[in-house]
């Protein structure tokens, strides 16, 4: 009688089956997204649920707020732009000209204040003239020292990669809101792992690694965008695959992916609060 080793195809087959079983494991499983239209406060609203949790859920038993942690001290060395980076804003009037009003219709209407670019109510979003795709981005921001408003109304701005995908900027220092819209959230899509905010008026840093999404000819996303976000030296989004768009679609929904070009501008949001930005540089990376 022959042993198994005399039937190599039997062993090969069993190896193949084991690999197939491994590949079937739910590693990196897609989040389940469901959409419904329901009545809320007498209005028909879109309700989107990600893995059973409503977008912008405020009930802490259903979407707990991230734990508050102590940020790392400002790292001046890591904040320095490498020689290979494109400096988008360095505190000078000249670098204000790297930006224009969203859609390129007007000049940059934000103000240069104490070496920072400050959002002006009604001035609209600002966009870089140069466009980027997958990139590493360093950007520093300070929410207003004079605390006004609460929730989404306090120190709100945003960093939009390719002008589309928002990493939220908000004063989330002792200010509660829906966790998927607090500082460092991929707006409506991904709650930050922890709350690493500094107090209002203090300078904070984002170091963002962004891989753009890819689309096929028909406009279907073939590879989703990926974000790795470090906030004040702490990882708050750990190689997160973005499940769709981050654009506002009502109080409980954000938009789907929609096909776009290979590059787009970096944009900063005017949400009516005088949030300041400084030391902004970007480096293209491989897709
Ligand atoms: Mg915002």
Give, in order, the Cα–Cα distances in Å from 111 to each of 108, 118, 126, 164: 8, 5, 11, 23
User: Rounded to the nearest whole angstrom, what is the distance from the C-alpha of residue 7 to the centroid of ligand 1?
Assistant: 63
The per-residue pLDDT for 27 is: 53
The per-residue pLDDT for 13 is: 41
d(CA 208, CA 272): 24
Structural domains in the chain, CATH included, are 58-284 (2.60.120.560)
Question: Are 191 and 167 a contacting pair, CB within 8 Å?
Answer: no
User: Rounded to the nearest whole angstrom, what is the distance from the C-alpha of residue 159 to the centroid of ligand 1?
Assistant: 8
Tokens 């022959």, residue located: 2
d(CA 33, CA 48): 7
Q: Is 108 helix (H, G, I), strand (E, B) or coil?
A: coil
User: Rounded to the nearest whole angstrom, what is the distance from the C-alpha of residue 44 to the centroid of ligand 1?
Assistant: 24
Q: Is 44 helix (H, G, I), strand (E, B) or coil?
A: strand
Question: CA angle, corner 79, sides to 264 and 114, nearest 5?
Answer: 85
pLDDT by residue for the chain (287 residues), tens only, comes to: 444 444 443 344 444 444 544 555 455 578 999 999 989 889 999 999 999 999 999 999 999 999 999 999 999 999 999 999 999 999 999 999 999 998 777 899 999 999 999 999 999 999 999 999 999 999 999 999 999 999 999 999 999 999 999 999 999 999 999 999 999 999 999 999 999 999 999 999 999 999 999 999 999 999 999 999 999 999 999 999 999 999 999 999 999 999 999 999 999 999 999 999 999 999 999 99
User: Rounded to the nearest whole angstrom, what is the distance from the C-alpha of residue 270 to the centroid of ligand 1?
Assistant: 8
User: Rounded to the nearest whole angstrom, what is the distance from the C-alpha of residue 168 to the centroid of ligand 1?
Assistant: 5
User: Rounded to the nearest whole angstrom, what is the distance from the C-alpha of residue 189 to the centroid of ligand 1?
Assistant: 13
Element (H, E) at 53: strand 53-54
User: Rounded to the nearest whole angstrom, what is the distance from the C-alpha of residue 16 to the centroid of ligand 1?
Assistant: 48
Residues with CB under 5 A from ligand 1 (ion): 156, 158, 269
Tokens 């209002």, residue located: 200
The per-residue pLDDT for 283 is: 98
Of the candidates 170, 189, 163, 176, the residue with the CA atom closest to the CA atom of residue 271: 170
Q: DSSP states of 149-165 as a string?
A: --GGGSS-EEEEETTTE
Token pair belonging to 258: 């929609």
User: Rounded to the nearest whole angstrom, what is the distance from the C-alpha of residue 237 to the centroid of ligand 1?
Assistant: 17
User: Rounded to the nearest whole angstrom, what is the distance from the C-alpha of residue 194 to the centroid of ligand 1?
Assistant: 18
d(CA 149, CA 143): 12
């Amino acid at each position: 009688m022959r042993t198994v080793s005399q039937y190599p195809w039997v062993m090969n087959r069993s190896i193949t089956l084991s690999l197939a079983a491994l590949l079937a494991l739910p590693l990196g499983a897609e989040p389940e997204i469901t959409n419904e239209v329901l009545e809320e406060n007498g209005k028909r609203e879109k309700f989107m649920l990600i893995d059973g949790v409503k977008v912008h859920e405020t009930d802490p038993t259903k979407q707990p707020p991230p734990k508050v942690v102590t940020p790392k001290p400002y790292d001046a060395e890591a904040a320095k732009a490498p020689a290979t980076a494109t400096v988008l804003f360095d505190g000078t009037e000249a670098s204000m000209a790297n930006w224009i009003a969203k859609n390129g219709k007007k000049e940059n209407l934000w103000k240069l204040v104490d070496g920072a670019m400050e959002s002006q109510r009604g001035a609209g979003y600002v966009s870089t003239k140069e466009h980027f795709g997958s990139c590493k981005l360093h950007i520093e921001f300070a929410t207003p020292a004079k605390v006004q408003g609460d929730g989404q109304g306090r120190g709100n701005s945003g960093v939009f990669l390719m002008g589309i995908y928002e990493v939220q900027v908000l004063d989330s220092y002792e200010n509660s809101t829906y966790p998927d819209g607090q500082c460092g959230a991929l707006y409506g899509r991904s709650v930050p792992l922890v709350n690493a905010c500094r107090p209002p008026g203090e300078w904070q840093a984002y170091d963002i690694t962004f891989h753009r999404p890819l689309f096929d000819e028909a406009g279907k996303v073939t590879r989703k965008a990926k974000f790795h976000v470090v906030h004040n030296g702490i990882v708050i989004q750990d190689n997160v695959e973005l499940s769709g768009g981050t654009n506002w679609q009502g109080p409980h929904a954000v938009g789907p992916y929609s096909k776009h070009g290979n590059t787009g501008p970096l944009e900063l949001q005017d949400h009516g609060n005088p949030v300041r930005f400084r030391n902004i540089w970007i480096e293209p990376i491989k897709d």
